[in-house]
Amino acid sequence: MTTIDPAAAAAADTIAQFEGPSGALDSTQRWLHGHPLASPTLVLLVAVAYFSLFTERFFTATNLSTILAQVTIIGTLAVAQTLVILTAGIDLSVGSIAVLASVVMGKLALVWGYAPVLALLIGIGIGTACGLLNGALVTRLRIPPFIATLGTFNALFALSQYFSENETLRNQDLQDQAPLLLWFDNTWEPVERFRVTYGALLMLVLFVIVWYMLRRTAWGRHVYATGDDREAARLVGIRTNRVLMSVYCGSGLICGIAGWLWISRIGAVSPKPLDDANLDSITAVVIGGTSLFGGRGNVFGSLLGALIVGVFDSGLSQAGVEPLWRTFAIGVLVIVAVAMDQWIRRVAA
Amino acid sequence: MSVEHLAATEEANNSPSADIVLAARGLIKRFGRVTALAGTDFDLYPGEVLGVIGDNGAGKSSLVKVITGAYKPDDGELWMDGESVAFFNDPLDARARGIETVYQNLAVSPGLDVAANLFLGRERRRPGLVGSLFRLLDRKGMDRDARDEMSALGLVTIQDVNQTVETLSGGQRQGVAVARAAAFASKVIIMDEPTAALGVKESGRVLDLIREVRSRGVPIVLISHNMPHVFEVADRIHIQRLGRRVAVVTPATHSAHEAVAIMTGAAPPDPAYAG
């Protein structure tokens, strides 16, 4: 250490440039790394092609519009979930927030006689507030997102049970007193018998808006940077706690909107849990190629992920396969997706 | 304290002249009962590379953290361009004043591309309504400037500014961090162990970059454990020992052996800096 290393000195003169990692061996890996939507797109196309060929009623306008309607809730929650997972977090409470928001909307509009618009806004506001709570738990109290949202998942669900007094508000009452709450079940029929619900359209719009925010604004870059390496993001001057708060808040807002979609979808207000919605939204995000380690992924991947789940559901049931094998297939897909992510991320090394 | 000693201290504490870019006097920083900085001084001249060396615990990193705003000292004074300034509140404050830092641990976002990293935290938006209302980024403009900056620094292998940083080697990543600092530093670039995580070849390339950046006229503070690296590029070398500046030497007047001797206390400190 006490003498100048002649080798180092000489090297400095002769090395004109850095050499990047090379080798054709992992060109597939690099290509997938550069095109994160490629594998979920391929899986979706193969699944659609397979079920179209081997079942009779899969590739029909009616069935395809049914699939789209069925993935609306999970797809919308997956938008929220993608935001959180991109920051290397996880939100187990998305379904609970949506149920609480829907219960609030229904109760205010039907029982307490609020104007439906006001009831909607308050419900969405409550959803946003729940997101804010998650954000505060994660950034202020430094509770790991998994635990924080596991807590709110249970607590918020209990609150929605309490608030609704465990009663279901019936479709007829909604139609009479607050048809606005059912508005998203209206359909648009661009092709005969291909009926797209307004809810599915809203879901697609949400995907586009969030894609724009993530990919075309500074805020989006900060979300990726925060999830990627929080300390590095902080060092370049990104206020990472603010970014996290905005992400959980935005997630809550979207879940609040999902509450409205949920009422429209089932045509009633029910405090029943959106059974597997929390995990299904995570499944959609993961199958869509977004990394659970944060900082990598594309929100449209989550749309593909939700569609893949919907297609498997529909296709396997058309093929007469027992539902348990559908669950099995989704489980395998999740594991394959995460294994792929691990492998692709190794490009970095 | 004797009268003579006070006079000597006064002398040493005289306001630095206006041509010194960054100067500090009598910095003191304590952590509980540990004194990290025991009244250290610091001077950085225009256009130079100032090496800062010292044993572990000598106060190198505390000194740098005070200058970059990461720590607030308990006592002392700071000048920029001969003007007395308050200490920086945080690294953002120092950055706003034109002081950029390159960190040892490659503070880049691996998942973002080169251009995004260069402008991270300082993104530019499109002019007009799309920028102000829809917050649309000026991606083309930033990509172009990133490419220009990479070429200007001779980072010819990083021409594709849309490749993610994680596909780059460690040295290339540090190249991105240096380019970022060079692009935005108007006053000072501080490099905290920039070669510590790199191999020999890549370290050499980073030293080339340091020379390249110096030729633009922005002074650089290079903190390093690596004597050969410091002696290769530094114009002057600040030697820190036991929380004080004990000597300032140049590669012309001192060998690395002698500098290490001063650093470890085997040789006496320079009386001019004894305080």
Q: Rounded to 10 degrees, what is the CA torsion of A264, A269, A271, A275? A: -30
Domain ranges (residues) in chain B: 3-111+164-273, 113-163
Distances (CA, A) of A338 to A140, A294, A343, B1: 30, 13, 9, 69
Helices first, then strands: H and E counts in chain A = 16, 2
The structure's pTM equals: 0.86
Across chain B, mean pLDDT equals 86
Distances (CA, A) of B247 to A168, A343, B73, B139: 81, 52, 21, 48
- Give me the phi and psi of B246, to 5 degrees please: -100, -15
Amino acid letter at A232?
A
Instruction: Tell me what pLDDT residue A271 has.
Output: 78
Q: Which residue has the higher pLDDT, A207 or B69?
A: A207
Taking contacts as CB-CB distances below 8 angstroms, the residues of chain A near B199 are: none
Amino acid letter at B192?
D
Q: Decide if B155 and A18 are in contact by the 8 Å CB cutoff.
A: yes
Asked whether the predicted pLDDT for residue B159 surpasses 80, the reply is no
Amino acid letter at A206?
L
**Contacting A residues, span 39-98, partner chain B, CB-CB under 8 Å:** none
Quote the tokens at residue A204.
């697609």
Quote the tokens at residue A150.
């596991």
Q: Decide if A12 and B207 are in contact by the 8 Å CB cutoff.
A: yes
Contact status, residue B192 vs residue B104, Cβ threshold 8 Å: yes
Right CATH for B3-111+164-273 from 3.50.50.60, 3.40.1360.10, 3.40.30.10, 3.40.50.300: 3.40.50.300
Domains of chain A as residue ranges with CATH: 27-348 (1.10.3470)
Instruction: Tell me what pLDDT residue B160 has.
Output: 87
Quote the tokens at residue B184.
């935005």
Q: Decide if B201 and A2 are in contact by the 8 Å CB cutoff.
A: no
Q: Cα angle vertex B82, ends B81, B88, to 5°?
A: 70
Q: Decide if A33 and B167 are in contact by the 8 Å CB cutoff.
A: yes
Question: How long, in residues, is chain A?
Answer: 349
- Which of B139, B204, B228 has the CB atom closest to A4's CB atom? B228
Predicted confidence pLDDT, tens digits, chain A (349 residues): 334 444 444 443 333 344 455 555 567 887 888 788 888 999 999 999 999 999 888 999 999 999 999 999 999 999 999 999 999 999 999 999 999 999 999 999 999 999 999 999 999 999 999 999 999 999 999 999 999 999 999 999 999 989 888 888 888 888 888 888 889 988 898 888 888 999 999 999 999 999 999 999 999 999 999 999 998 898 888 999 999 999 999 999 999 999 999 999 988 888 776 767 888 899 999 999 999 999 999 999 999 999 999 999 899 988 888 888 888 888 898 898 888 888 887 765 4
pLDDT in tens, B114-137: 999 999 989 999 999 998 899 999
pLDDT in tens, B163-185: 889 888 888 888 899 899 988 88
Quote the tokens at residue B88.
């920086």
Q: What gap in Å lies between CA B43 and CA B22, rounded to an integer?
A: 6
Quote the tokens at residue B171.
């040295």
Amino acid letter at B119?
F
**Contacting A residues, span 21-40, partner chain B, CB-CB under 8 Å:** 21, 30, 33-34
Q: Does B51 touch chain A (CB under 8 A)?
A: no
Q: What gap in Å lies between CA A207 and CA B147, rounded to an integer?
A: 31
Question: Mutate which of A26, A236, A292, A343 to disrupt the B interface (most B C-beta within 10 Å)?
Answer: A236
